[in-house]
């Protein structure tokens, strides 16, 4: 390994002979060693410690929420595998830098000087040869802004990594069709029920107080028809039925409406308490059986109305 | 094994279509060839060559955008969507763009790594400064390469999971794939459950193209196109800026573009299947090419290629999201405003008018098939801004500005931790070089931003929705669409030290 260090002390743009200095080289050496040791420790930890041990550790420290333990185990998997891949890669980079320390140091100095040169907004006065205070302020302002930009992006990247770790337990390598992500539990149940109860070619007329875009998406190639109430056309729904959306019931639709929407199934799907007829929530026995089987609760009474009927041709 | 074959077909198809994009880009950029620059200007301080980065970037952007447009026209002509048109386009790409890219890469290889930093606008500089520039270039290029890989991995980590990406775009993509036609009865039915039936079809058609190449629907793989657009935006920015700034400045500018937090890694940016980041990409580049055209001196020939590219990118923005139509109108109005400044010289006016005709012609060529088809689509859930625009309504809703103006200012400047420093970069650039802002090429960026913000405020006044939910819930995504413009404005204003030709700005 060549530990001699050469540094070009020239002002950008000028031609000078490189001079040797020790400080930059030692600084880079120490930083590189520290990073290499850290990478080595992480890589060794991630590869030697069994993943089940780390999962158990995460499980024991998870909260008591519905999905906390599930998320903790998935996140442990994610970060262990990330460490297994990234740490050796990092170690290799440190090794490469250490093997050519002088070249990397010279490169680093050129980089810093290059950045300094292109961000220099101050121009020397022709008459006095001095740089005005305002001009210097501009230069340092720009450099400060660029540094802040980089730091902010790093903070976002770390935050983003956390979010990706949070997503991993839910998605892993599963498709959206399988996970049905980011929709309400009720929507998810109805989609799975309709997939089971109707053929892929079904045309389903829906009366509902829900926005049905996700049902339409995940139920394709089924054809979902829904006459949207004008009062709820531009209304954004809120979580847990905090906002009531105006909706047509099946009996509100005229014969002409039905002709415009040829269908072979009719679905009533209401969730807002004001629109749910509690006497009818058990009327679709297939739906009730499905819900009880899926939730593994044989006495469950669904809190919302789902009623699917086949229309005779 | 089946999955590997499917992915092989998909990757090969997308590469082929990007090569077709390279072919189109090269054909258009040839119109800006160095021979158009008079000898007294074409010295060693300026190079009008086509940087490889720009060619690759435009290849990716047109690979996505023009493929979607081609499929639209194909389907409008009665052709069936599916593997045939997508595959034919990919093959055509290999046949036409393949040799071009091969030639360019060989040239780049032969000229060695020196080529990369020399092809920018480089003054005769010392060896030390050359090394420094190269170090900055290589570092920025390496970081950008890492960012692209990170974007790809993060994008593919999840299937589509957000509201708009599924309710508006992915749903239509799926219908197009299954029904094999843009005349699908589902998309034409007023009661079929879909969100915003009038929204443009670039993304649905591009996703459909992925499904056609893959042979099945998988909304994780269809997100590949968003990574392609991210890479395209960054590479094209670097390429265009290399013609006007030093290589180090150009790649630093591209790095800033790649690290706008709201575009990447924010989950509503390029990592998801929503249309805001793609609109930002096409809109930003349209402005960049317009700026390049306006920057030409009167002693130079008009930048025909750049003007055409500005029109094409502007139209692709409008084909991505309806806001793109507003951007086209704003930019058209700005160009019209600049025309007034050229009235004093007949020659300049003639050139300016010629440039405008090119811009409008390029944009119209892409837009007309879509606008014709759009008329036959239902209006369910559409806001119908133009239809609602009346003086009475505007006057009665003036009150909304008391909420929306402070809200926008807060979003841009106060919430910088969430959305990024691009608006501060813009302000800092204005503060440092205020006298340059009033020159038409740079004024273009500023007027575009002002016009876009005015359009958002107007939308808030016209929309039949609760203001704080409508604007409050979407302003960050709208600002994302103009974030690249702010960065381009800042980078060019800070780094461009070329004295502008007073009174001889031309199109």
pLDDT along chain B (507 residues), means of 10: 85 95 93 53 48 94 96 95 94 94 87 54 62 91 96 93 93 95 92 90 96 93 95 96 91 96 93 95 95 81 88 96 93 90 80 88 94 88 77 86 92 93 95 86 93 92 82 90 96 77 38
Q: Side by side, which strands form the sheet with A203-208? A: A223-226, A203-208, A265-270, A305-310
Helix (H, G, I), strand (E, B) or coil at B263: coil
Kindly determine whether residue B428 and residue A225, on different chains, have CB atoms separated by under 8 Å: no
Cα–Cα distance measured from residue A270 to residue A247, given in angstroms and rounded to the nearest whole number: 9
Q: For B151-200, give the DSSP string.
A: HHHHHHHS---SHHIIIIIIHHHHHHHHH-STT-HHHH-TTBS-S-TTS-
Neighbouring C-beta atoms of residue B25, cutoff 10 Å:
29
- Banded model confidence at residue A22, pLDDT cuts 50, 70, 90: low
The two structure tokens encoding residue B493 = 């204003």
Q: Would you state the pLDDT for residue A207? A: 93
Give the pairing type, strands A265-270 and A203-208: parallel
The two structure tokens encoding residue B190 = 């007023």
Q: What is the ipTM of this complex?
A: 0.90
CA-to-CA dists, residue B500 to A22, A119, B74, B91, B295, angstroms:
46, 20, 45, 45, 8
The model's pTM:
0.91
Q: Which residue of B has its CA nearest to A134?
A: B432
Contact (Cβ atoms closer than 8 angstroms) between residue A270 and residue A208: yes
Cα–Cα distance measured from residue B20 to residue B92, given in angstroms and rounded to the nearest whole number: 7
Q: Would you state the pLDDT for residue A1? A: 37
Contact (Cβ atoms closer than 8 angstroms) between residue B273 and residue B219: yes
**Cβ neighbours of B170 in A, within 8 Å:** 217
Burial (Cβ within 10 Å: 0-12, 13-18, ≥19) of residue A63: exposed
**Torsion sign (Cα): A299, A302, A308, A309:** positive
Quick check: A227 contacting B, CB < 8 Å?
yes
Cα–Cα distance measured from residue A285 to residue A263, given in angstroms and rounded to the nearest whole number: 22
Half-sphere exposure at residue B380, Cβ-oriented, CA atoms within 13 angstroms? 21
Kindly determine whether residue B261 and residue A156, on different chains, have CB atoms separated by under 8 Å: yes
Kindly determine whether residue B175 and residue A13, on different chains, have CB atoms separated by under 8 Å: no
Q: Would you state the pLDDT for residue B59? A: 96
Q: For B34-50, give the DSSP string.
A: GGGS-TTT-STT-----
Closest among B255, B373, B385, B269 to B326, alpha carbons compared: B385
Mutation target vs A (from B121, B144, B148, B158; most A CBs, 10 A cutoff): B158
Kindly determine whether residue B158 and residue A114, on different chains, have CB atoms separated by under 8 Å: no
Task: Give Cα A234 to chain centroid, integer Å.
Answer: 27
Q: Which of residues 375-394 of B touch A (CB under 8 A)?
A: 380-381, 383
Quick check: A262 contacting B, CB < 8 Å?
no
Contact (Cβ atoms closer than 8 angstroms) between residue B314 and residue B270: no
Q: Would you state the pLDDT for residue A65? A: 81
């Amino acid at each position: 390994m060549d530990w001699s260090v050469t540094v070009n002390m020239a002002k950008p743009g000028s031609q000078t002979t490189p001079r040797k200095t020790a400080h930059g080289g030692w600084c880079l050496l120490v930083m590189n060693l520290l990073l290499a040791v850290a990478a080595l420790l992480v890589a060794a930890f991630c590869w030697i410690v069994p993943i089940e041990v780390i999962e158990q550790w995460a499980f024991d420290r998870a909260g008591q929420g519905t999905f906390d333990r599930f998320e903790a185990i998935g996140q442990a998997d994610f970060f262990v595998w990330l460490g297994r891949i990234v740490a050796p890669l990092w170690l290799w980079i440190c090794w490469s830098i250490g093997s050519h320390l002088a070249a990397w140091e010279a490169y680093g100095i050129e980089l810093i000087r290059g950045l300094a040169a292109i961000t220099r907004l101050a121009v020397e006065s022709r008459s006095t040869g001095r740089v005005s205070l305002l001009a210097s302020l501009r230069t340092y302002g720009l450099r400060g802004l660029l540094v802040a930009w980089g730091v902010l992006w790093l903070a976002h990247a770390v935050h983003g990594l956390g979010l990706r770790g949070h997503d991993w337990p839910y998605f892993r390598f599963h498709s959206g069709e399988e996970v049905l992500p980011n929709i309400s539990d009720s929507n998810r149940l109805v989609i799975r029920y309709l997939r089971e109860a109707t053929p892929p070619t079904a045309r389903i007329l829906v009366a509902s107080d829900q926005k049905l875009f996700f049902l339409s998406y995940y139920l394709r190639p089924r054809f979902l028809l829904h006459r949207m109430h004008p009062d709820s056309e531009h209304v954004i729904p809120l979580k847990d039925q905090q906002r009531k959306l105006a909706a047509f019931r099946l009996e509100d639709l005229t014969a002409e409406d039905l002709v415009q929407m040829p269908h072979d199934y009719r679905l009533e799907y209401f969730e807002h308490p004001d629109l749910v007829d509690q006497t009818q929530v058990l009327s679709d026995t297939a739906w009730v059986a499905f819900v009880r089987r899926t939730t593994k609760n044989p006495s469950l009474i669904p809190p919302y109305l789902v009623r699917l009927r086949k229309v005779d041709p | 094994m089946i999955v590997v074959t499917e992915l092989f077909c998909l990757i090969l198809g997308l590469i082929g279509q990007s090569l077709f994009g390279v072919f189109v880009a090269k054909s258009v950029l040839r119109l800006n060839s160095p021979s158009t620059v008079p000898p007294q200007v074409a010295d060693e301080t300026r190079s009008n060559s086509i940087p490889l980065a720009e060619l690759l970037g435009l290849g990716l952007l047109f690979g996505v955008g023009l493929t979607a447009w081609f499929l639209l026209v194909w389907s409008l002509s009665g052709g069936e969507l599916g593997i045939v048109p997508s595959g034919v386009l990919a093959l055509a790409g290999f046949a036409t763009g393949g040799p071009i890219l091969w030639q360019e890469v060989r040239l780049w290889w032969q000229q060695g790594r020196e080529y990369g930093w020399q092809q920018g606008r480089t003054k005769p500089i010392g060896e030390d400064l050359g090394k420094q520039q190269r170090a900055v270039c290589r570092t920025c290029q390496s970081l950008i390469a890492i960012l692209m890989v990170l974007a790809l991995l993060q994008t593919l980590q999840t299937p589509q999971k957000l509201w708009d990406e599924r309710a508006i775009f992915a749903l239509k993509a799926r219908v197009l794939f299954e029904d094999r036609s843009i005349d699908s009865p589902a998309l034409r039915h007023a009661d079929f459950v879909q969100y915003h039936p009038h929204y443009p079809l670039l993304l649905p058609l591009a996703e459909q193209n992925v499904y056609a190449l893959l042979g099945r629907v998988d909304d994780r793989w269809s997100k590949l196109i968003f990574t392609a657009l991210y890479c395209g935006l960054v590479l094209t920015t670097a390429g265009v800026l290399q013609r006007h700034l030093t290589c180090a400045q150009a790649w630093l500018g591209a790095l800033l573009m790649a690290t706008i937090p709201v575009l990447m890694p924010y989950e509503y940016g390029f990592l998801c299947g929503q249309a805001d980041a793609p609109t930002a990409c096409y809109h930003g580049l349209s402005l960049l090419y317009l700026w390049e055209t306006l920057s030409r001196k009167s002693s130079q020939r008009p930048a025909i290629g750049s003007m055409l590219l500005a029109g094409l990118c502007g139209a692709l923005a409008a084909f991505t999201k309806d806001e793109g139509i507003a951007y086209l109108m704003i930019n058209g109005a700005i160009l019209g405003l600049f025309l007034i400044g050229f009235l004093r010289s007949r020659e300049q006016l003639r050139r300016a008018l010629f440039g405008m005709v090119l811009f409008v012609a390029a944009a119209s060529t892409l837009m007309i098939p879509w606008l014709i088809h759009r008329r036959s689509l239902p209006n369910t859930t559409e806001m119908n801004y133009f239809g609602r625009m009346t003086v009475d309504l505007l006057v009665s809703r003036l009150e909304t500005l008391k909420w929306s103006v402070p809200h926008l200012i807060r979003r841009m400047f106060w919430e910088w931790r969430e959305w990024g420093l691009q608006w501060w970069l813009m302000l800092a650039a204005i503060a440092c070089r205020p006298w340059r802002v009033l020159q038409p090429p740079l004024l273009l960026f500023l007027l575009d931003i002002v016009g876009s913000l005015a359009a958002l405020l107007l939308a808030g006044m016209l929309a039949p929705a609760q203001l704080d939910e409508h604007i409050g819930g979407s302003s960050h995504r709208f600002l994302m669409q103009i974030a690249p413009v702010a960065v381009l404005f800042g980078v060019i204003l800070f780094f461009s030290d070329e004295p502008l030709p007073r009174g001889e700005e031309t199109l």
